[in-house]
Structure 1
Amino acid sequence: MTAAAILEGPVTAGVSIRPLLEIDGVSHVYRSALGTETTALDGVSLSVARGEFVCLLGPSGCGKTTLLNMIAGFVTPSSGRITVDGETVRGPSPSRGVVFQDYSLFPWLTAGQNVAFGPRMAGQGPAARRQTARELLALVGLPDAADRYPAELSGGMKQRVAIARALATDPAVLLMDEPFAALDAMTRAALQRQLLAIHEARSKTVLFVTHNIAEAITLGDRVVVLSPHPGRVAADVTVDLPRPRRRTAPGFNALYAHLADAIGAETTE
């Protein structure tokens, strides 16, 4: 199939082959108060090169968010190891910026103050962090929103602020957990385009969780499919379609069908 190639490793054209993020044999078991165990992930291994945009794709319950939370340092693996730039992940760090589906902005802070929060915690002075906030709000298309509170912003605007906030500490990797899932189709498409522009401008390494096949194809240099119960890597596919990618482009639908087959999904999304 010309639209995709199954890879043995994360070699992507134009991207360094030295992994920035390495996930080595990671498993996670949830234990309930009653002593029952549920294996969310089993033996997941994955490498992401510096500057690569990788989409984690799979149905609900396949462990996508659990894996992202382990990379972020919010959850400890039951076994295996995760490293970022050679350092073992042992907890949250400014080197890993996270964007959640529900925005998670501080409602009592303005957009500018939300973006400046990370630099403030890192000890950056007031003038420098205000400048950081201005630059990043402009980068995400909100140059005039610094003094507005989250309640005054639309869902798409809130998510732009959340992306700016995640970028404010200049993280090595940007972790995004279905950040556009709650948005309408037009806003979602606009933010996808903006995210790709930011990725290109800042050369950020991005790990993007989605259950939307078309979104994964639109955004990713690679698409990693997780199978459910427990989550395992079912396929690792490089996307060789030129950007911008459209559903009518040659190869898009063939790749869509290939990924849908890999996750056992209907191809009517």
Structure 2
Amino acid sequence: MNVRVDVSTASAVQRPLIACHDLGHVYDSGRGRTVALDQVSLTIQPGEFVCVLGPSGCGKTTLLNILAGFVQPSHGEVLINDHAIAGPSPERGVVFQDYSLFPWLTAKANVGFGLRMAGRAAAEREAVASDLLRQVGLPEAGDKYPFELSGGMKQRVAIARALATRPALLLMDEPFAALDAMTRASLQTRLIDLQQQSAQTILFVTHNIAEALVLGTRLIVMSPNPGRVIEDIAVDLERPRRRTSPAFNELYDHVARAIGLDTAE
């Protein structure tokens, strides 16, 4: 098990998919100014599975929203393939904690919605949606509506929908937080399989250390008030990762200390 604070030289030579330079963001309200992010600089290479980890108030979701194009930073620069992010785009798929499925559409129609908005033919939408539902383990659920699906099934549909437009970057904002432990573990395994098969680049926001260590090839650890990157850690653990292994627990303790925790979650 190795820990590093900086991206490796070999990785740095590659052109990054995402580059953030000195990002900062301030929220103004009737109660004053809140500095959500301050001097955040990082790069994400194609094919990385990056988990952003930290306590509440560290700016994790603000960073994700900036990368998604939902929020413009107060200062700094964020680029995707050397081009400035000016707003939302199909090249950045987003999966939220609350599923955000359209209740009046079937699972298959939800998955194909982005393709429909892009003007793709019905036959193509049908084929892509069916294939992605198969990949997420829901081959028989295409004609079901969200109210007919469990929470875990809804989240799998949401993941399939985000992947339908073949985004360069998949952004996930605590997507498994509301699920029970068994469903959460099952979806973690399925997401790892999907990422390894497709080399999909993923940025995954979580406050759960064990989840970050199970999923990520790299951890960005942030501190709160204001949100800053305090560590950039390579997770050099073989898959499948055993939560009871000495290497896993050593890295868990290292991350816990970095964010100010002395005990297990």
Partners of 1:11 and 1:255 lie apart in 2 by: 22
How far has the Cα of 1:17 moved from its partner? 3.3
Cα RMSD, aligned residues only: 1.5
Q: Is the 8 A contact 1:16 1:50 kept in 2?
A: no
* Secondary structure in structure 2 of the residue aligned to 1:267: coil
Return the alpha-carbon distance in structure 2 between the equivalents of residues 36 and 12 of structure 1. 44
2:228 maps to 1:232? yes
Structure 2 counterpart SS, 1:257 = helix
SS in 2 for 1:40: strand
Paired residues for 1:137-216 under 5 Å: 137-216=133-212
Q: Write the letter of the residue equivalent to 1:28.
A: H
Per-residue CA deviations over 1:96-139 (Å, capped at 9, x if unaligned) read: 00000000001111100000000001110011101110000001
For residue 74 of structure 1, give the secondary structure of its aligned residue in structure 2.
Answer: coil
Give ranges in structure 2 of 5+ residues lacking alignment. none
Aligned to 1:26, which of 7, 23, 28?
23
Letter in 2 for 1:168: A
Quote the residue 1:6 is aligned against. 4
TM-score normalised by the chain length of structure 2? 0.97
Distance in 1 (alpha carbons) for counterparts of 2:262 and 2:209: 10
Structure 2 CA distance for aligned equivalents of residues 243 and 12 of structure 1: 22
Residue 10 of structure 1, CA deviation = 5.4
Whole-angstrom CA distance in 2 between matches of 1:236 and 1:203: 21
Preserved CA contact (<8 Å) 1:10 1:47: no
Deviations 1:214-261 (A, max 9, x none): 000001110110100000001010011101001112300000000000
Shift of 1:11: 5.8
Check the 8 A contact 2:6/2:233 in 1, yes or no: no
The alignment partner of 1:251 has SS state of helix
If the length of structure 1 is used for normalisation, what is the TM-score? 0.95
* 1:73-105 deviations in Å (ceiling 9; x for gaps): 000100001111111101000000000000000
**1:218-257 to 2 correspondences below 5 Å:** 218-257=214-253
User: Given the alignment, which residue of 35, 53, 56 partners 1:57?
Assistant: 53
For residues 165 and 16 of structure 1, what CA distance do their matches in structure 2 show? 33
- Percentage identity across paired residues of the two chains: 61
Structure 1 runs (4+) greater than 6 angstroms displaced = none
Distance in 1, matches of 2:98 and 2:261, equals: 25
The structural deviation recorded for 1:8 is 2.1
- Corresponding pairs, count: 265
Deviates more, 1:239-248 or 1:158-167: 239-248
- In the alignment, the residues of structure 1 paired with residue 150 and residue 159 of structure 2 have an alpha-carbon distance, to the nearest angstrom, of 14
